[in-house]
Homo-oligomer: A and B are copies of this chain.
Amino acid sequence: MKSKAVQDYYPDDVAHCYGCGKLNEHGNQIKTFWEGDETVSRFIPKEYHTAIPGYVYGGLIASLIDCHGTGTAALAAYRVEGREIDTLPPFRFVTASLQVDYLKPTPLGVELEIRGKIVEIKGRKVISEITLSANGEVTAKGKVVAVQMPEDMVKR
């Protein structure tokens, strides 16, 4: 049985993120899974997600790294507590800072693989290092500092 993505368990009132919310029909709806001690998301850009023709738009790459970072943080938080992602209370992180280094142009038209490694977990903060690859070659790398969402951010 294929494991479910952490985003599948974001509560409905915080599942509208353009990057990874299951309830945002216009968005990218990325899904983030564990693979051993790394996290992985995969995404096929649309034809219009272009920078210079033939290459993926850097803003999309930043967005994928961003949401992969918050998804990774949520996965890590469950694992620290020894809980499955379908147990309550749910974890939901937002980004405090994002660093992206564009190493080489990312070709458009293939599936991108985004992989994360957790480098620090401290209190409500999770820091991850992330790579983005196309055709097996890393074209961008990033670092995301994610913090657990303040409860008062949700307008209920």
> Which parts of A90-105 form the interface with B (CB within 8 Å)?
94-102, 105
> What string of 1s and 0s marks CB contacts (under 8 Å) between A61-105 and chain B?
011101100000000000000000000000000111111111001
Copies of this protein in the assembly total 2
Most chain-B Cβ atoms within 10 A of its Cβ — which of A13, A18, A97? Answer: A18
Q: Looking at the complex, which of A33-41, A43-51, A119-127, A130-138 is the stretch in contact with chain B?
A: A43-51
Q: Nearest-CB distance from A98 to chain B (Å)? A: 5
Taking residues whose C-beta sits less than 8 angstroms from the other chain, chain A's interface range is: 35 or more
- Partner of A18 from the list B27, B59, B64 (CB cut-off 8 Å) is B59
Q: Which residues of chain B are within 8 angstroms of A155 by Cβ–Cβ distance? A: 53-54
Say if the beta carbon of A55 comes within 8 Å of chain B: yes
Most chain-B Cβ atoms within 10 A of its Cβ — which of A16, A24, A26, A58? Answer: A58
Q: Knowing that A51-B94, A59-B62 touch, tell me 14 more A-B residue pairs with CB under 8 angstroms.
A: A14-B52, A16-B51, A16-B53, A19-B57, A21-B50, A24-B48, A52-B154, A53-B154, A53-B155, A55-B153, A62-B62, A62-B66, A62-B100, A105-B153
